[in-house]
Amino acid sequence: MPTLICGSVAYDTIMVFPDRFKHHILPDKVHMLSVSFLVPQMRREFGGCAGNIAYNLKLLGGDPLPMATVGQDFTPYAKRLDELQIRQECIRTLPDHYTPQCFITTDLDDNQITAFHPGAMSLSHENHFDHVPGITLAVVGPDGREGMLARVAELTAAKIPFIFDPGQAMPLFSGAELLACVQAADYVALNDYEAALMEERTGKSIADLAAMVKMLVVTRGAEGSTMHADGKEILIPTAKATEVLDPTGCGDAYRAGLLFGIEKGWDWESTGRLASLLGALKIAHRGGQNHHFDRDSLATAYRTAFGCELPAY
């Protein structure tokens, strides 16, 4: 059965400036800033939260169904999804727009200057999933504001359980809107910064919010994550990464693990460990979709990381 993955499908253009921004940005001239950086290193990655989650879920053997609005330049990404055998029934192309794009310039101190063009994502509310039968689980990730609100309403009406994962889109919503989305959801996924912002915006503690759903998870990077479920806090350890190269897409990999464990009916400890392991596998590679694993290598990595066996699937 397909898992609906609502969110952005985007191109990430990543450039490396072989110097430090501070050598070229004068503090007393920031009010009239005009700078140019020569970036001899550049790579273009396939990304976006829906694209990244779908990639990881497909590696696990799931049936991801990404839902996104894209633009006239989507052909290379569409070809990649075809090669990965990832379904595209819920990807809508808007020929008068560009696919969402993120442009990131990084200096030698890992400082970043980022520009994001939402493109077709701004019209994500014009996309729908009611033509696809058999959807049993979904995630509502960062997307256009109206699109996210529409997905929450449509999934609720269709009685399809879903994870609410506002991510970097959280500032687009009022406290009342965020609270309504949590109350409609079955699960909520946040990082530690987003959890603090959610508490501030809604006026509710994480414990209060967790009581509204079946499970709420707060991730803390290298410090692990905490699942709040059944009135308990379940501490999920991190899996040790072979290398720490690029955190881009680690949260998306984690969410793919959540979706897979929920779909399979695993207990929360096993689900959280899988999610943690996927984040560790991803961080050892640059870009959100350049890591690889199969069931055997995943089982070995799971046993090494946690001292127990990966549940059968």
Predicted structure pTM score: 0.94
Going from N- to C-terminal start, the domains of the chain cover 3-8+48-98+118-306
For the domain spanning 3-8+48-98+118-306, the CATH number is 3.40.1190.20
Any idea of the CA torsion for 201, 202, 206, 210, to the nearest 10 degrees? Answer: -140
- Which contiguous run of DSSP H or E holds residue 227? strand 225-229
Closest C-alpha to 210, from 197, 198, 228: 228
- Please report the pLDDT score of residue 196 as a whole number: 97
Yes or no: say if 289 and 51 are a contact pair by the CB < 8 Å rule: yes
How remote is the C-alpha of 109 from its chain's centroid? 25
In this predicted structure, the answer to whether residue 217 has a pLDDT above a threshold of 80 is: yes
Q: Span 149-168, mean pLDDT?
A: 97
Least confident of 29-43, 80-94, 150-164, 213-227: 29-43
What is the tens place of the pLDDT at every residue in 245-292? 888 899 999 999 999 999 999 999 999 999 999 999 999 999 999 999
